[in-house]
Structure 1
């Protein structure tokens, strides 16, 4: 069965704590979680993403981080979404399988950015292969064209996506093309999350119909973001 929670509301994209020597510093994660809950009123996190500099980390480091986040957030956080995207498909699958084993609440994947997919079908084929490694976890496509250089409209990726990826549960849209984003909202299904990831355009994204926000500013400006989020919901 697919876990029913969706990546909605305000979700904090977490940093990866490092020692001065450049080693991952797991001792910071517990206090970090407490800070997000107690000071920022955040109960959902997106780990090992762009803010967490995942592409600069080894697989072993990413696994250790994901495991520690999930372990220390259990019973405190509502959701831990783990980003598993890599340049290598097999690595992405390995991280997806690991996320399922450690109790993550969902996984997200960004498209490869060196040998880039050039069509929506290419992206969907990649997503299908990654999702198949953790078929019981809610699966999200992470769209970040400024970093990946992949500018395939997400609205095209959504066409018949659940036929290929039954665990598909939405998108983290971190692009500035609000026209594409609005069409994604129009194509969205009730059991999908369509969350916006460009902090500077968040109000516009909410006005277009986003049902959540994932960003680096969520860890510091959560109260203001939540006020904006609910005001837009009330007025629309």
Structure 2
């Protein structure tokens, strides 16, 4: 679990049903851009808009069609603990890791409750590494992860680490150094990848690694070479990418639409996300061209199919 891990979209047909046939070329595209793995059924993958059966189908499709030497982590969290346990059991022999975010309707009010929830899920896939998905802006479970690490490491035998999607770099630094880095702390704020590098981050999970993997690897190499000016400039371009698409109707749907420009039509997004038209994508492309972003995309980038 190192390098960039793409939080993948749930591929769909025009009618909103799952399009699992595109998973294989989707995986090949990511691998060709040196993406090291896929994080499926997460926030980017619209897990809250999928049924439990659909989430299982997505897991199975990626398990059968993932590229070689490619990590596959499946998010199994659910407001209903029984459903989460079922998803974990189903994923046991199909993935390289499972993850779960905290319940987000009846929110947890203590680290003890969080530990209980994670333990119940992890024990349903005892042979599979378990990661806690820390994203308090959506779950409200805003605990210090250094405290959770101490508890989880002692009580969950297959606990492997944290998908850390929060801008609390002090807590992140403490987690990175906990027990000499015994656990994987995967940074999950794409727009701040550069900020994670001084703390020794080596693994990242995010939605923009679907689109901008070559750019992010240049950020990492520029940082290692001591060229902070270039690294900062590249990070600003990534932020512009996110902010521009987010203003078009929310990044989950618009980012998914942008994948059409890489030859991957992943279909529409389910409510309440926005799916962009060709004309809207053409406008976005012009904006990115002005800041020199297009040359930093993968070789598959092609606007030939756009009508705008």
The Cα of 1:190 is off from its aligned counterpart by 3.9
The 3 A distance-change label for structure 1 pair 164 and 186 is same
Residue pairs, 1:207-222, within 5 angstroms: 207-222=198-213
Cα RMSD (Å): 1.6
| Greater CA drift, 199-208 or 85-94 | 199-208
Distance 1:188 1:46 in 2: 26
1:166-216 deviations in whole A, cap 9, x for unaligned? 101111000111122112112255442111111111111222232211101
Corresponding residue number in structure 1 for 2:53: 60
- Aligned partner of 1:151 in structure 2 is 142
> What is the alpha-carbon distance in structure 1 between the residues aligned to residue 222 and residue 124 of structure 2?
39
Equivalents in 1 of 2:197, 2:8: separation in Å?
A: 21
Residue 115 (structure 1) aligns with: 106
| Distance across 2 between alignment mates of 1:69 and 1:35 | 13
**Structure 1 range deviating more: 49-58 or 215-224:** 215-224
1:3-59 Cα offsets, whole Å, 9 max, x none, are xxxx22111110111112111111111111111122x22131111111001111000
- Establish whether residue 14 from structure 1 lines up as the match of residue 5 from structure 2: no
**Tell me, what secondary structure is at the counterpart of 2:138?**
helix
The answer for unaligned runs of 5 or more in structure 2 is 227-308
User: How much has 1:77 moved relative to structure 2?
Assistant: 4.2
**Aligned equivalents of 1:79 and 1:53: distance in 2?**
20
- Cα distance change, pair 212–89 in 1 and its aligned pair in 2 (3 A): same
Using CA pairs under 8 Å that are at least 6 residues apart, name the structure with larger relative contact order, 1 or 2: 1
1:88 aligns with 2:73: no
Which structure has more helix as a fraction of its residues? 2
Shift of 1:155: 1.3
1:105-144 superposed matches below 5 A: 105-144=96-135
TM-score (normalised: structure 2): 0.70
Q: Secondary structure at the match of 1:159?
A: helix
Distance in structure 2 (CA, Å) of the matches to 1:174 and 1:229: 19
Confirm or deny: 8 A CA contact 2:3 2:36 kept in the other structure.
Answer: no
CA distance in 1, matches of 2:225, 2:150: 30
Please state how far the C-alpha of 1:224 moved relative to its aligned partner. 2.2
Count the aligned residue pairs.
226
- In 1, Cα distance between equivalents of 2:155 and 2:54: 30
202-211 vs 18-27, which deviates more?
A: 202-211
The answer on 1:30 being equivalent to 2:31 is no
Change (3 A) 1:172 1:232: farther
Matches of 2:179 and 2:207 in 1, distance apart?
A: 25
Match of 2:166 in 1: 175
Deviation at 1:220, TM superposition (A): 1.4
Kept in 2, the 8 Å contact 1:142–1:174? The answer is yes
Query: For the pair shown, which has the larger CA radius of gyration, 1 or 2?
Result: 2
Q: 1:89 to 1:10 in 2, by over 3 A?
A: same
SS of corresponding position for 1:172: strand
Structure 1 contact 188–194 (Cα < 8 Å) conserved: no
Q: Retained in 1: the 8 A contact 2:135–2:165?
A: yes
Deviates more, 1:143-152 or 1:202-211: 202-211
Question: Residues 136, 37 of structure 1: CA spacing in aligned structure 2 closer, same or farther, 3 A cutoff?
Answer: same
